[in-house]
Structure formats: C-alpha cells, structure tokens
C-alpha cells in the first residue's frame, strides 16, 4: 500500500529488488559511468528486400479466397493490405453479410465495445492489418495468434485458470482509428504508413500475413460469419470457415513455415498460427477462377480505401513512410524512422515541449542519448519472438515528454509494424501515470454532452480505494508499464482466479477483448465518433495540455515495455519499447535510460529506487501484501556476452 499520507516511506531493507519486486537485494555497488561511444556503431541487422504486392497479386488473393468461400456456401468480405496497412482492396461477394458484431458479454451486460455491430468491411480490414502488423521477416503471427496472447490466462483454456494473462494483453487497443500517430487514407502522401485500423487489432481467426519471396508484404482478412470474436479454448482444434477461406487466399503468398507462430514459444508454450490446414480446403486454389468472372464487387470503405485495386508499396521505401534514417537523423546505420513521404522525418529527435510544467525539460542532446543507448541495447539483445533462434531483437522505440509529445521515434529495419504505435502508447502511459496530474485529468474527462464521464472517473475512485490513498495517481510513484499491467488485469494478483480485479480492470464477468477496463473506457467515445463517420485525431477526451497536446492521444497500453525518465526526483518524460518479448522490451527501455544517465553524468535517468512502482505494496484480503513490479529483464539476454541479471542494482 502507499503509506504515510500517500508518500512511500520505505527503509533501506526495501531497496530496489533487481528489476522489479521480490525480496530486497544488498545495497548496490557503485557503477562506473558509461562514456559516449568513441566509434561509430556497426551494422548488425539485414534490411528486408524490397518486395510488394502487385495489382495482379491482389486479384489472385481475392479469387482464391472467393473460391473457398463459394465452396463452403459462405459468401465473404475479403480485405487485402500491404505491410504498412494501406488497404489495397476490399471485395464483397454477392450475398455476403453486411455487418459483424463484436462478441457480446455472456451475461448480456455489454460494456464498452462489447456487442457492437459494425460494417463487415471494417472487421475484414482489421483482421488483414493484424496479420500484417504482428509479423516480420522473423515471425509470422495471425489473428489466431493474437487471440492467444490477449486473454486473461495464457494459454487461454478452461484448463489454465490460475495462470497469468497473455503477454500482449491489451494490444488489441492499438493502431486505433483515432490515433494521432497512424496515417489516414487520402491525406498527405497516399501510401505512407503505418495506416490506422478501423477496430484496432483483431483476435478473431481469419487474418493472416502475406509473404512474397519470403518477405513480409501485407495481410489478408476475411469476415463472413457475422461474429467478430476470439478463441477462448486453445487446447482444441477449431474448424473455422473464415480461417480456411483466409488460408486459401494465402496460397502462393504463405508465411515461411520456419517462422510461423507454432515455431515460437513464450514461457515454454508454443504459440498457435492456424487451426486450418491445406488438406481441409474445399477448393483447389490453383484452379481458382479469374477475377473478371467473380460475381461480387470491389467496395469503397470511407476513410480506408476506394472501390478499386491498388498495388502495395515496398516497405522501407520513402513512399511507405518507414525508411532508413540518415546519419544526421540518428547515429546508427541500422536505424529506421517514420517519414512523411517527401523526405521529412515525422518524429525527429528534439527537445521537450513542457517548459511550463518542468523546471528543466529534456534537452535534444538528452533525448538523443536515451534513444541511442536504448537502440544499442536492442542491437545486442537476444530476441524472444523471432526465428531462427539467437536472432537479434527488433523493436520500435519512442521517447515522450510529460505532455506526451514525441521527442523521437526510431526502430530497427525489420521490427513488426504494430510496435510503432504501441511503443508510443507505452511511453505516454508511463509518463501519464507517473504525472502528478493523472487523477485530476482522468476526473476531468467528459462525455460528448459535456457531463463528467463516470465510465472513466470511477477508475480514479477504484484506484484510490485499491491502494488505500490517492498517492498512486498524484505523482508520488515512478510508474512503469509493467506496474500498470499488474493493476489492469481482471484478477489481482494476475491470473489468480477468485481474486478481485486490479484497480484499472473490469471484473472478470465484464471482461472481453473489447472491454478491458480503463483502457477501453478511455477511447470508447472517440471510437464511436469514428464509427459515426468522424475522424478525431486523438483517442481520449482528456483535457489538452497548454501546448494543445493530449497526453494519451493514441490511448494507453497495459503490457510491459516502458519506464518513466527523471531528473533527480522530477519526472521529465518516458521511454516506450515494443516489438519483441515483453521482458526484452522492458530491458531495452530500462537499460537504455540507465545507460543514458551514466553517459550524461547523471543529469537524467531512471526514477529514484525509493519511489519506483516496485516499492508499492497492495494489501490482499488474506492479510498478506503483494508488491507491484517495475520491470522484468530476461536471463542470458545478450548475444555478445554471457551476462545475467543485467538490470540488477541500477
């Protein structure tokens, strides 16, 4: 609990425990400062080859899907996207259902986005984007994979009640259509990405990545049965018509077998890629009819595509919006940045904007040091979710000030696209919940009618009751994303069935991938605006800062990979990392910030150990107490040394 009038007062016996909670270690030894690099960094990554879907490729994908759908008597809506989310075509077969409905709550008390009916085209696009965005040259994930990693127990099954939640719990609320990071169809350069998803990421089977000559080039999504749901039981094998239709569509554009999800393990559990297999297809993809012979039609989806077929853009090109950085933009030959399609870096390294709130805001030199040191850690780190084994981790890294303004965004060449938006979400989340204004701004959220939004405000009351004081939301704790994840699960401690929910979560009886708690409550109104034809450029109704910035403009994220940045005991920003295993993301953010502080002589760095979230104790009804976490770092994390316990005593 937060004690002593809301301020954590802990003795020397409660010094930072390694990387996050647990018993207290001995007093750490002094660490020698790490000087700035004396030589230019060497390239260690291979850039993906320049491949892209042609218009003929898109036609072929559609015809193969349509043939399988016809063979099953289940007309479908078929969407195809490129790697950065440009919607290349949406095809509606004659007789296809017009709508899809997000899976309703079992007790009928639908909350947030449960039981919402949307155009079927939006669901198909979201599935296609999920397949494209979660995948890379080192891993191929599907919407079935997504379903497995976003649920309250991992792996999700009636047999696994009591296990912790999925490693990417909450990632479905990313790539949101209201986000200020994602790009819009028809706005600016036409094909820069990453493009927004109409429904975030999908957990409904029927979405796969597409590969060309072994290179990730996009995704395909199928909506046919009207149920936009998820698979709650991973131990059986589903016979899912939408997944078979999508599998047929990938013929000739399949993910390499060596990198599919079933070759990748998390915590000793192999992930799932597809319950559909080629032997279960009812059509012969090689004998699919010509596109001209199909009886459906290409359809336009407002804000996402025209009623036509477009060729994809080669990822890594200026036109794709994700390209190699110049030497002036970032000091690493492997760095990639987001571009506006005309050569300008969308998120260049810069000084902070919050001089009115912070006495000594982050300088451009400090921002650059944090990003460079984090990138250097990533380039040494052993990947969790990539094949072959002992590949290097590949992630996106974002840095923000206390107002949520991006001070730089950089990534490795082949990091999954989803991590771009998620890294910024994570950074903003850590900065927001470490800020003294958090409670006041959550309480100031109003509805479209101008009334206080009880759906959001009630989480402030719940959080204060959960901790026994208002300290957690008033800047007295340096809060990491791992700590936010601790209290954003439907059981606290995570996974322990029968326990009450965390402070930021729904009760398990109200949970679904469409209703997680504060995360979904914050963006609901803005999502409704989008579905009504609007185009908001922020995902919450938090009051804007004096500079006009919304601190959580692309929503919050509730799984690990971000830490706040401090100058002494004053919050000055946060760093967020996403794209690999959650422990790798944590380590890169944590060590990157620590090493930057050492490099700069201690002017900035991690929050003081005494105020980190792993010093916060939460009382349970049993009378025992559980600590939150700060970060969790992997064992044997580096490819170039045998170091272990690398986050200890920082």
Whether 574 and 434 have beta carbons less than 8 Å apart is answered as yes
Closest CA to 367 of 348, 394, 388, 381: 348
**360 with 294, same domain?**
no
pTM (predicted TM-score):
0.94
Q: What is the DSSP string of 38-99?
A: SSPPPP--PPPP-----HHHHHHHHHHHHHHHHHTT---EEEEEETT--EEEEEE-TT--SE
Domain end marker among 282, 298, 314:
298
Is 247 inside any structural domain? Answer: yes
Angstrom distance (rounded) from CA 367 to CA 272:
39
Confidence of residue 10 (pLDDT cuts 50, 70, 90): very low
Whether 580 and 559 have beta carbons less than 8 Å apart is answered as no
**391 with 265, same domain?**
no
pLDDT recorded at residue 343: 96
Closest CA to 127 of 108, 114, 112, 146: 146
**404 with 262, same domain?**
no
Q: pLDDT tens digits, residue range 541-556? A: 999 999 899 999 999 9
Is 85 inside any structural domain? Answer: yes
**289 with 364, same domain?**
no
Residues 6+ apart with CB under 8 A from 129: 81, 85, 175, 195, 197, 201, 202, 207, 219, 221
Confidence of residue 39 (pLDDT cuts 50, 70, 90): low
Segment 311-336 shows an average pLDDT of 97
Segment 183-210 shows an average pLDDT of 96
**143 with 264, same domain?**
yes
**185 with 249, same domain?**
yes
Domain end marker among 264, 298, 332:
298
Confidence of residue 261 (pLDDT cuts 50, 70, 90): very high
- Token representation of residue 361: 């805001």
pLDDT recorded at residue 3: 39
**289 with 361, same domain?**
no
Is 339 inside any structural domain? Answer: no
**262 with 390, same domain?**
no
Is 203 inside any structural domain? Answer: yes
In the block, which residue shows the tokens 């949970």? 511
**280 with 358, same domain?**
no
Count of domains observed in the chain: 2
In the block, which residue shows the tokens 């149920």? 227
Q: pLDDT tens digits, residue range 385-415? A: 999 999 999 999 999 999 999 999 999 999 9
- Write the burial class of residue 91 (CB in 10 Å: 0-12 exposed, 13-18 middle, 19+ buried): buried
Angstrom distance (rounded) from CA 451 to CA 449:
6
Is 615 inside any structural domain? Answer: yes
Least reliable range by pLDDT among 11-15, 58-62, 452-456, 521-525: 11-15
Closest CA to 141 of 384, 429, 425, 423: 384
Whether 196 and 86 have beta carbons less than 8 Å apart is answered as no
Q: pLDDT tens digits, residue range 287-311? A: 999 999 999 999 999 999 999 999 9
Residues 6+ apart with CB under 8 A from 116: 101, 102, 110, 514, 531
Q: pLDDT tens digits, residue range 334-371? A: 999 999 999 999 999 999 999 999 999 999 999 999 99
**216 with 279, same domain?**
yes
Burial code (b: 16+ CB inside 10 Å, e: under 16) for 520-535 equals: bbbbbbbbebbbeeee
Mean pLDDT of all residues belonging to the chain: 93
Segment 515-534 shows an average pLDDT of 94
Whether 605 and 597 have beta carbons less than 8 Å apart is answered as yes
Is the per-residue pLDDT at 34 higher than 80? no
Closest CA to 201 of 179, 185, 186: 179
Closest CA to 502 of 459, 470, 532, 531: 459
pLDDT recorded at residue 248: 98
Q: pLDDT tens digits, residue range 567-626? A: 999 999 999 999 999 999 999 999 999 999 999 999 999 999 999 999 999 999 888 999
**239 with 382, same domain?**
no
**85 with 174, same domain?**
yes
Which stretches does DSSP call E strand in 191-272?
A: 207-212, 215-223, 227-228, 265-266, 269-270
Angstrom distance (rounded) from CA 140 to CA 262:
9
Whether 102 and 514 have beta carbons less than 8 Å apart is answered as yes
Is 167 inside any structural domain? Answer: yes
Segment 53-69 shows an average pLDDT of 98
3-state secondary structure at position 144? helix
Cis link prior to 155 (omega < 30° from 0)?
Answer: yes
Q: pLDDT tens digits, residue range 430-446? A: 999 999 999 999 999 99
pLDDT recorded at residue 242: 98
Domain end marker among 298, 328, 361:
298
pLDDT recorded at residue 56: 98
In the block, which residue shows the tokens 């000084």? 351
pLDDT recorded at residue 274: 98
Is the per-residue pLDDT at 9 higher than 50? no
Is 241 inside any structural domain? Answer: yes
Angstrom distance (rounded) from CA 458 to CA 461:
5
pLDDT recorded at residue 13: 29
Backbone angles phi, psi at 392, to 5 degrees: -85, 145
Residue 625 belongs to a domain with what CATH number? 3.30.450.150
- DSSP class of residue 30 equals P
Is 634 inside any structural domain? Answer: yes
**Which structural domain range is residue 181 located in?**
55-298
């Amino acid at each position: 609990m937060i004690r002593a009038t809301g301020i954590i007062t802990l003795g020397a016996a409660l010094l930072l425990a390694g990387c996050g909670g647990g018993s207290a270690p001995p007093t750490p030894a002094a660490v020698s400062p790490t000087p700035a690099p004396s030589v230019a960094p060497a390239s260690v990554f291979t850039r993906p080859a320049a491949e892209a879907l042609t218009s003929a490729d898109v036609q072929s994908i559609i015809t193969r899907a349509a043939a399988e759908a016809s063979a099953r008597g289940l007309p479908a809506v078929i969407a195809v996207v490129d790697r950065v989310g440009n919607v290349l075509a949406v095809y509606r077969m004659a007789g296809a259902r017009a709508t899809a409905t997000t899976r309703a709550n079992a007790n009928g008390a639908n909350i947030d986005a449960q039981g919402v009916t949307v155009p079927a085209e939006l669901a198909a696009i979201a599935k296609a984007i999920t397949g494209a965005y979660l995948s890379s040259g080192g891993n191929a994930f599907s919407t079935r994979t997504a379903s497995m990693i976003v649920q309250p127990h991992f792996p999700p099954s009636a047999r696994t009640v009591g296990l912790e939640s999925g490693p990417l719990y909450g990632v479905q609320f990313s790539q949101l259509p209201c986000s200020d990071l994602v790009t819009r169809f028809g706005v600016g350069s036409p094909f820069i990405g990453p493009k927004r998803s109409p429904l975030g990421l999908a957990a409904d089977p029927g979405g796969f990545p597409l590969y060309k000559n072994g290179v990730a080039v996009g995704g395909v999504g199928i909506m046919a049965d009207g149920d936009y749901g998820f698979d709650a039981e991973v131990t059986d094998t589903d016979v899912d018509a939408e997944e078979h239709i999508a599998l047929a569509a990938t013929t000739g554009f399949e993910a390499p077998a060596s990198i599919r999800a079933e070759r990748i393990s998390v915590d000793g559990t192999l992930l799932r890629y597809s319950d559909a297999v080629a032997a279960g297809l009812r059509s012969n993809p090689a004998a699919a009819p010509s596109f001209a012979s199909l009886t459906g039609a290409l359809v336009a989806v407002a804000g996402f595509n025209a009623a036509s077929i477009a060729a994809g853009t080669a990822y890594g090109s200026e036109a794709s919006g994700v390209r190699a950085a110049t030497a002036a933009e970032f000091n690493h030959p492997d760095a990639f940045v987001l571009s506006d399609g005309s050569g300008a870096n969308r998120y260049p390294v810069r000084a902070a904007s919050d001089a009115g709130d912070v006495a000594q805001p982050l300088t451009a030199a400090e921002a650059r040091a944090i990003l460079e040191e984090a990138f250097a850690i990533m380039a040494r780190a052993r990947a969790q979710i990539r094949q072959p084994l002992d590949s290097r981790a590949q992630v996106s890294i974002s840095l923000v000030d206390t107002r949520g303004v991006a001070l730089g965004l950089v990534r490795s060449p082949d990091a999954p696209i989803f991590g771009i938006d998620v890294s910024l979400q994570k950074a903003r989340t850590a900065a927001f919940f470490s800020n003294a204004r958090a409670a006041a701004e959550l309480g100031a959220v109003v509805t479209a009618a101008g009334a206080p939004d009880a759906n959001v405000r009630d989480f402030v009351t719940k959080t204060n009751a959960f901790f026994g004081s208002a300290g957690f939301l008033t800047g007295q704790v340096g809060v990491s994303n791992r700590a936010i994840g601790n209290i954003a699960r439907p059981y606290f401690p995570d996974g322990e069935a029968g326990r009450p929910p965390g402070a930021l979560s729904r009760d398990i009886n109200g949970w679904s991938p469409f209703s997680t708690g504060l995360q979904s409550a914050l963006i609901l109104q803005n999502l409704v605006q989008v579905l009504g034809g609007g185009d908001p450029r922020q995902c919450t109704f938090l009051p804007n800062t004096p500079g006009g910035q919304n601190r959580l403009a692309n929503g919050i994220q509730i799984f690990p990979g971000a830490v706040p940045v401090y100058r002494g005991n004053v919050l000055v920003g946060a760093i967020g990392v996403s794209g690999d295993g959650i422990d790798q993301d944590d380590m890169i953010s944590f060590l990157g910030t620590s090493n930057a502080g050492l490099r700069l002589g201690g002017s900035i760095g991690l929050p003081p150990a005494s105020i980190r979230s792993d010093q916060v104790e939460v009382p349970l009804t049993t009378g025992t107490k559980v600590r939150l976490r700060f970060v969790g770092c992997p064992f044997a994390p580096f490819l170039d040394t045998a170091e272990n316990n690398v986050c200890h005593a920082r």
